[in-house]
């Protein structure tokens, strides 16, 4: 039930007057670690402050994350403004991506934690941009430069720049993706990472509610049909799990029912504790040396339905999910076996 409780804790958390959380401290306690790790702790704490049980010691990590984000937000905003200003001084045009640009959709942008500074630059500016970014190497947050986007493979960088817009950030203006490209990017990034961070679905929900009537769904959903299917599904997930209320609803011809397996997979992912054994490169080869560990090791690495669907570029409907998962498991096994044989 941890995933379901996380969803309840985050329903409408991006709004100015989010309702109090309909949970008790005891029911929320198992979610605290996941909320902190996912970056959603500050959003939850702003709702908890309206409850009469917010002083429970088990919830202190949420309160601490809230205080930390308020301080960090001001420092990070100044750092981003300085980085963008330096790029501009070097005649390098940039587009600020992901968390930094979507925070403006939140009623209180300071509650949306900000990670690395993701900047999109033109291929011709890549080398000079790297040199400029190197001057900030000792600072945090880290600067992550892109000359293309894995999540927008059906969009050219030239078109992204042409459609981009400029918004104020502190004392400087920054360039961000146009609303349609940005929303598509948020949804496809969420899917590419198998919906693992609830904060990213909050981004989608907050953006849906901040849309204007001028939002062009045809532009947003134009391009690769498989990718557009994921964007539409993201809208459904934000509505179903987080109570998102789109200011500019999907046209009826695009509306789709969210497959039951998809919402279950996302909630399961949110409620699954981090297992370092899955991410140690030698973990599987070590497990094979202990017969009692082989089956547990395989089960830990069995791809979840959403992860397998993304990796196999499968549609969300029309195929039984265990078949897609088995296909992904076979592909992984084929990649692993040569490394195993080389180490014997």
Q: What's the pLDDT at 262?
A: 97
Query: Which residue numbers in the chain have pLDDT < 50?
Result: 275-282, 284, 286-287
What integer pLDDT is reported at residue 286 of this predicted model?
Answer: 47
Phi, psi of 318 (to 5 degrees): 95, -5
User: What is the rounded CA–CA span in Å between residue 284 and residue 337?
Assistant: 11
pLDDT the model gives residue 105: 92
Residues in contact with 255: Cβ distance below 8 Å, sequence separation at least 6, in sequence order? 232
Which burial class, exposed, middle or buried, applies to 6 when counting CB atoms under 10 A from its CB (0-12, 13-18, 19+)? Answer: buried
The gap from C-alpha 254 to its chain's centroid, in whole angstroms, comes to 23
What pLDDT is attached to residue 282? 43
Query: Reading across the β-sheet that carries 95-96, which strands appear in turn?
Result: 143-146, 117-120, 95-96, 172-176, 165-169
pLDDT of residue 341: 57
Q: Given this model, what pLDDT does residue 280 score?
A: 44
Residue 277 pLDDT: 44
pLDDT tens for residues 227-247? 999 999 999 999 999 999 999
Q: Which residues pair with 143 in a beta bridge?
A: 117
pLDDT of residue 294: 53
Cβ atoms within 10 Å, residue 178: 19
Query: Three-state SS for 62?
Result: helix
Helix (H) or strand (E) holding 95: strand 95-96
pLDDT of residue 73: 76
Cβ pair 208, 247 in contact under 8 A = yes
């Amino acid at each position: 039930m941890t995933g379901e409780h996380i969803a309840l804790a985050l329903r409408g958390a991006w709004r100015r007057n989010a309702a109090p959380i309909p949970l008790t401290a005891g029911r929320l306690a198992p979610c605290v670690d996941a909320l902190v790790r996912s970056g959603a702790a500050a959003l939850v704490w702003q709702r908890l402050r309206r409850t009469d049980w917010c002083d429970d010691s088990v919830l202190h990590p949420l309160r601490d994350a809230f205080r930390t984000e308020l301080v960090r937000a001001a420092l990070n905003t100044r750092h981003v403004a300085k980085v963008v200003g330096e790029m501009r001084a070097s005649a390098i045009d940039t587009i600020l991506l992901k968390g930094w640009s979507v925070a403006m959709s939140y009623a209180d942008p300071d509650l949306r934690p900000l990670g690395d500074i993701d900047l999109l630059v033109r291929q011709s500016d890549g080398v000079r941009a790297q040199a400029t970014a190197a001057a900030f190497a000792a600072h945090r947050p880290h600067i992550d430069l892109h000359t293309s986007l894995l999540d927008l493979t059906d969009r050219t960088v030239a078109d992204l720049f042409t459609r981009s817009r400029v918004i104020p950030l502190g004392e400087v203006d920054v360039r961000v993706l146009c609303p349609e490209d940005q929303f598509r990017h948020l949804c496809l990034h969420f899917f590419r990472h198998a919906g693992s961070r609830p904060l990213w679905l909050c981004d989608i929900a907050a953006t849906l509610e901040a849309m204007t009537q001028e939002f062009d769904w045809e532009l947003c959903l134009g391009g690769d049909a498989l990718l557009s299917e994921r964007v539409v599904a993201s809208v459904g997930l934000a509505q179903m799990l987080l109570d998102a209320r789109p200011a500019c609803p999907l046209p009826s011809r695009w509306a789709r029912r969210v497959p039951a397996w998809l919402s279950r997979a996302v909630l399961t992912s949110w409620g699954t504790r981090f297992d370092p054994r899955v991410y140690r490169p030698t973990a599987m080869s070590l497990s094979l040396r202990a017969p009692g560990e082989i089956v547990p090791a395989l089960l830990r690495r069995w791809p979840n339905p959403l992860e397998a669907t993304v990796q196999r570029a499968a549609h969300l409907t029309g195929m039984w999910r265990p078949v897609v998962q088995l296909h992904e498991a076979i592909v992984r096994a084929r990649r692993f076996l040569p490394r195993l044989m080389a180490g014997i």
